[in-house]
Structure 1
Amino acid sequence: MLRYPSWSPRWCACWHREVHQNAPHPWPQAFGFAVRDARERNGLSIEGLAGTAGQSARMVIGIEHGKRNPSLLTILALAQGLGVSPGQLIESAEARRETAA
């Protein structure tokens, strides 16, 4: 990262961008927790869920960590791999997001 004096407008703009624009959105994080909770309840490994859902392990890890924003088809595949409805995953994520706020 470039070093600017703490008082310079350029430094302030960089700091603002780092803190606010790169902050994770609460929905992907909450959805990731919901997927991880369901996966652990079913006794599945990341690789096991990835295989049953037709996704890569890297994708599942990204979703669980809130780094990836899954498409509708990915949500459907994950729900099927977990043996739950997509609505259950979304409701669980919503409950998690509300308690975190």
Structure 2
Amino acid sequence: MHAELLGCGQTGEGQLGARLTEPMIRVPERIIGAPNDAEGTTVKQVACGENHTLFLTNDGKMWSVGSNRDGQLGRGKRSEGSFSIYPVSLTSGVGIIQLL
């Protein structure tokens, strides 16, 4: 079985993982760059803020995308955001079990 992650909503800050020309996606579309690979790593939970999105994969890793003005991407400092979904660096051996 092939799984895809779909999403809709605001796109201006990259919170859906792509630089899009439309400010809003009204019909769910595939989230480009979401963790979904041949080894079975898939997204099991999503948490959304106004301008960012966090993804939790079944292997306990967290990924983030969107605005980072207040450090909400978990990348260690406030900075410009991202239009690409990247894994968040965690202390070695730490696995996330839930996003709130």
Question: Which category describes the TM-score, using the shorter chain as reference length?
Answer: under 0.3
TM-score, normalisation: structure 2? 0.24
Q: Over alpha carbons, which structure has the higher Rg?
A: 1
Q: Considering Cα pairs closer than 8 Å and 6+ residues apart, tell me whether 1 or 2 has the greater RCO.
A: 1
**Structure number having the greater helix percentage:** 1
